[in-house]
Amino acid sequence: MVDVLTEIIIDCPKSKVSDYAANPDTAPEWYVNIKSSEWKTPKPLTVGSKIAFKAEYLGKELAYIYEIVDYLPGVRLTMQTAQGPFPMETTYTWESVDVNRTKMTLRNKGIPSGFSIFFSPVMSLMMKKTNQKDLKKIKAILESEK
């Protein structure tokens, strides 16, 4: 099993961080590998919403659909996909450190199958590095908009 947890402190109120991070339309702006997002169900975001993402990872193009399985606005968002060789669950959480600072966590869990199973230790390290870049990017974007 791959289980990668990263976190960062963002110098912005929790509502600003969570509103931006939970919006699938902004994902290509702050995720290093995501190139596009497309709503497959009507807005607004709610449990059951489906969003198609196109990404590039390790030189390969990936297309997958995430379904929102848990959403408590301003607190937690969990989405998962069951397609492909690496079913994945992604969870964001947001906690106020104080009025103007937020701790955001990004957790990816999945169970590789087939050929991917041999690379799970390496994948965990690569995902951690990528997630750290993503969180640094969202921090830079949000803090520059103050």
User: What is the distance of C-alpha 7 from the center of its chain?
Assistant: 12
**Residue 91 belongs to a domain with what CATH number?**
3.30.530.20
Cα–Cα dist 88/67, whole Å: 11
Question: For the chain, how big is the Rg over CA atoms in Å?
Answer: 15
Dist CA 82 CA 141 (whole Å): 31
pLDDT tops 60 at residue 48: yes
- If one counts the domains in the chain, the total is 1
- The pLDDT of 42-52, averaged and rounded, is 96
Task: Provide the 10 A C-beta neighbour count for residue 48.
Answer: 10
Give the tens place of pLDDT for each residue, 95-120. 999 999 999 999 999 876 654 555 66
Residue partners of 60: CB distance under 8 A and separation at least 6: none
Mean per-residue pLDDT for 46-70? 91
Range of the domain at 102: 2-144
- Coil, strand, or helix at residue 40? coil
Half-sphere exposure in the Cβ direction for 48 (13 Å, CA): 4
pLDDT surpasses 60 at 13 = yes
Question: In whole angstroms, how far apart are CA 75 and each of 92, 124, 135?
Answer: 8, 25, 17
The pLDDT of residue 82: 63
Here the tokens at position 32 are 């290093």
